[in-house]
Amino acid sequence: MTVTQLKPDLDNQIQKVLSDSFLHYYEYAIAVDQNSEVRWISDGYYRWLGLTESPIGKPIVEIIPNSYMPMVVQSGAPIFLEPLEIGDALVAVSAFPLKQAGQVVGAFGFVAIDKSQKPDHRDANVNQDIKSIAQQRLAKYTLKDIAGSSAAINQVKHFLRQASRYKMPVLITGETGTGKELFAQALHNLSNRAEQKFVSVNVSAIPSTLLEAEFFGVAPGAYTGADKKGREGKLSLANQGTLFLDEIGDMPLELQGKLLRTLQEKEFERVGSNRLEPFNARIIAATSQNLANLIQQGKFRQDLYYRLNVFPIVIPPLRERDSDIREIAEKILEDIRNEYGVFTKRLASDAVQVLEQYHWPGNVRQLRNILERASALCGTTEINRDLMAQVIELEIPLPNQLEQAPTQPASLAEIIEQTERQAIVDALKNTQGQKTEAAKLLGISRPTLYEKITRHQIEEYKAPNEWELK
Reported confidence tier of residue 89, pLDDT bands at 50, 70, 90: confident
Please say if the pLDDT value at position 406 is more than 60.
no
Average pLDDT, the chain: 80
Whether residues 288 and 333 fall in one domain: no
Q: 97 has which bridge partners?
A: 107
Please say if the pLDDT value at position 367 is more than 50.
yes
At 419 the three-state DSSP class reads: helix
Read off the CATH number of the domain in which 351 is found: 1.10.8.60
Read off the CATH number of the domain in which 176 is found: 3.40.50.300
Which residue from 137, 127, 109, 90 is spatially nearest to 28, judged by alpha carbons?
Answer: 109
Rounded to whole angstroms, how far apart are CA atoms 5 and 240? 67
- One DSSP character per residue, 90-151 reads EEEEEEEEEEETTEEEEEEEEEE--TT--SS---HHHHHHHHHHHHH-S----GGGS---SH
What is the CA 130 to chain-centroid distance, rounded? 24
Which of residues 385, 404, 423 is at a domain's end?
404
* Residue 60 burial (10 A CB sphere; 0-12, 13-18, 19+): buried
pLDDT, position 116? 56
Whether residues 22 and 151 fall in one domain: no
pLDDT, position 232? 83
Read off the CATH number of the domain in which 425 is found: 1.10.10
Residue 119 domain-assigned? no
Which of residues 314, 347, 379 is at a domain's end?
314
Residue 306 domain-assigned? yes
Read off the CATH number of the domain in which 70 is found: 3.30.450.20
Whether residues 150 and 203 fall in one domain: yes
Residue 44 domain-assigned? yes
Whether residues 290 and 197 fall in one domain: yes
Reported confidence tier of residue 298, pLDDT bands at 50, 70, 90: very high
Residue 124 domain-assigned? no
pTM for this model (two decimals): 0.58
Whether residues 157 and 275 fall in one domain: yes
Cβ contacts of residue 371 below 8 Å, gap of 6+?
329, 332, 333, 336, 383
Which of residues 272, 293, 314 is at a domain's end?
314
Whether residues 332 and 296 fall in one domain: no
pLDDT, position 285? 97
pLDDT, position 176? 92
Cβ proximity of 60 and 37 under 8 Å: yes
Reported confidence tier of residue 134, pLDDT bands at 50, 70, 90: very low
Cβ proximity of 264 and 306 under 8 Å: no
pLDDT tens per residue across span 45-66:
888 888 889 999 999 988 887 7
Whether residues 212 and 279 fall in one domain: yes
pLDDT, position 120? 53
Cβ proximity of 94 and 81 under 8 Å: yes
Whether residues 212 and 307 fall in one domain: yes
Cβ proximity of 97 and 107 under 8 Å: yes
**Lowest-pLDDT range, 24-38, 219-233, 402-416?**
402-416
**Lowest-pLDDT range, 69-83, 238-252, 255-269?**
69-83
Quick one: residue 314, left, alpha or beta (phi over 0 = left, psi -120 to 50 = alpha)? beta
Residue 130 domain-assigned? no
Whether residues 158 and 259 fall in one domain: yes
User: Does 345 or 404 have the greater pLDDT score?
Assistant: 345
Residue 416 domain-assigned? yes
Rounded to whole angstroms, how far apart are CA atoms 151 and 71? 6
Residue 7 domain-assigned? no
Cβ proximity of 95 and 69 under 8 Å: yes
* Mean local confidence (pLDDT), 99-107: 87
Whether residues 41 and 107 fall in one domain: yes
**Lowest-pLDDT range, 3-7, 145-149, 265-269?**
3-7
**Lowest-pLDDT range, 160-174, 271-285, 305-319, 329-343?**
329-343
pLDDT tens per residue across span 214-248:
889 888 765 544 455 677 889 988 988 999 999 99
Rounded to whole angstroms, how far apart are CA atoms 143 and 120? 16
Whether residues 299 and 430 fall in one domain: no
Please say if the pLDDT value at position 44 is more than 60.
yes
pLDDT, position 252? 92
Supply the range of the domain harboring residue 24.
12-112
Whether residues 174 and 282 fall in one domain: yes
Total number of domains in the chain: 4
Residue 227 domain-assigned? no
pLDDT tens per residue across span 155-185:
999 999 999 998 999 999 999 999 999 999 9
Percent pLDDT > 70 in the chain is 79
pLDDT, position 11? 56
